[in-house]
């Protein structure tokens, strides 16, 4: 372990005794306490700021931030993810409307452009704090009678299974860095052009039908993406020299791949929202 890595770990140990929003000691104080150079301290703090553990405020100090939620690359519901992390999931339905599919959504769902869809916009919450804004489309014929109250503080996948007998079997999801536009910033309670993750997911039921397309904006300051890696093997069982992501969440002690981290570099994307 390098001196910088060791210093980072020691600073993180110190952070364990501090509350979220509390300032850490000054660089000078850390230099004295940890017995390392100020250059090493600064490099370790820069890394912790970049990784989202600390927030440096000009002229004020450096503060402990809310821990990021690890988002596994697996097919699971938001509600299930939050409960697994000891948080209380919630949602607020901002919009529910019936609309025609149109050409683009018809391609996504493999239906006629004239097919009627239910369009739902929801704010997803964890411990009552805004975490993500999602917009989902589902063929209206699959969810007759669906109303706003049905979706309040409830998993949509659970609702589909319990009321409509639709069980999600698989899905395809893309992830890319982006920044929030005006609407997303207002709903999520973050500044305009805040780094974020854009998730687009198409899910398929056990019957083989595409049942939904959902587009979600997750706060980049509260999420990180993780994937376990295993060697890919060819037909004779030998390692093929490639790695693939396994769809299960690792614990904090496993080595993780942090993909597509939202950072200040995302600003270059501008407002490239759909």
Residue 265, pLDDT score: 36
Give the tens place of pLDDT for each residue, 156-189: 888 899 999 999 888 888 888 889 999 999 999 9
Residue 249, pLDDT score: 35
- Choose among 248, 238, 169: nearest CA to 210: 169
Give the tens place of pLDDT for each residue, 127-158: 888 989 999 999 999 999 999 888 887 788 88
Domain locations in the chain as residue ranges: 3-64, 69-269
* Stated pTM of the model: 0.58
Distance CA 96, CA 245 (A): 35
Give the tens place of pLDDT for each residue, 194-235: 889 888 899 999 999 999 999 999 888 877 666 666 665 555
Residue 78, pLDDT score: 67
- Answer positive or negative: Cα dihedral of 56, 60, 62, 65: negative
Any bridge partners for residue 69, and if so which? 223
| Lookup: tokens for 236 | 């004779």
pLDDT, the chain, mean? 77
Quickly name the fold that domain 3-64 has. Arc Repressor Mutant, subunit A (1.10.10)
51: pLDDT strictly greater than 50: yes
80: pLDDT strictly greater than 60: yes
Residue 256, pLDDT score: 33
pLDDT confidence of 75, banded at 50, 70, 90? low
Quick one: 16 exposed, middle or buried, by C-beta within 10 A (0-12, 13-18, 19+)?
exposed
Tell me which of 3.40.1410.10, 3.30.70.100, 2.40.50.140, 3.90.650.10 is the CATH number of domain 69-269: 3.40.1410.10
Length of the chain equals 274
Q: Which of 60-64, 75-79, 256-260 bottoms out in mean pLDDT, i.e. has the lowest?
A: 256-260
Residue 235, pLDDT score: 57
Mean pLDDT (whole number) for 92-104: 91
């Amino acid at each position: 372990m390098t001196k910088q890595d060791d210093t980072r770990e020691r600073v993180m140990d110190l952070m364990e005794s501090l509350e979220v929003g509390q300032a850490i000691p000054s660089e000078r104080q850390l230099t004295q306490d940890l017995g390392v150079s100020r250059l090493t301290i600064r490099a370790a703090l820069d890394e912790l700021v970049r990784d989202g553990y600390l927030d440096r405020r000009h002229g004020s100090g450096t503060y402990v931030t809310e821990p990021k939620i690890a988002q596994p690359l697996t097919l699971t519901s938001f509600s299930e993810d939050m409960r697994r992390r000891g948080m209380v999931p919630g949602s607020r339905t901002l919009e529910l409307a019936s609309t025609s599919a149109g050409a683009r959504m018809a391609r996504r769902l493999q239906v006629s452009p004239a097919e009627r869809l239910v369009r739902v916009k929801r704010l997803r919450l964890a411990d009552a704090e805004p975490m993500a804004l999602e917009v989902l489309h589902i063929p209206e014929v699959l969810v007759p009678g669906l109303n706003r109250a049905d979706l309040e503080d409830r998993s949509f996948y659970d609702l589909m299974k319990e009321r409509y007998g639709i069980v999600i079997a698989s899905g395809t999801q893309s992830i890319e860095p982006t920044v929030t536009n005006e609407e997303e910033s207002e709903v999520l309670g973050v500044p305009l052009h805040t780094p974020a993750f854009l998730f687009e997911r198409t899910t398929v039921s056990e019957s083989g039908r595409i049942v939904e397309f959902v587009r979600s904006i997750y706060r980049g300051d509260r999420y990180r993406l993780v994937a376990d890696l295993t060697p890919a093997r060819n037909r004779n069982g030998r390692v093929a020299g490639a790695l693939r992501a396994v769809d299960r969440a690792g614990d904090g002690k496993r080595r993780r791949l942090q993909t597509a981290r939202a950072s200040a570099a995302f600003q270059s994307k501008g407002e490239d929202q759909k």
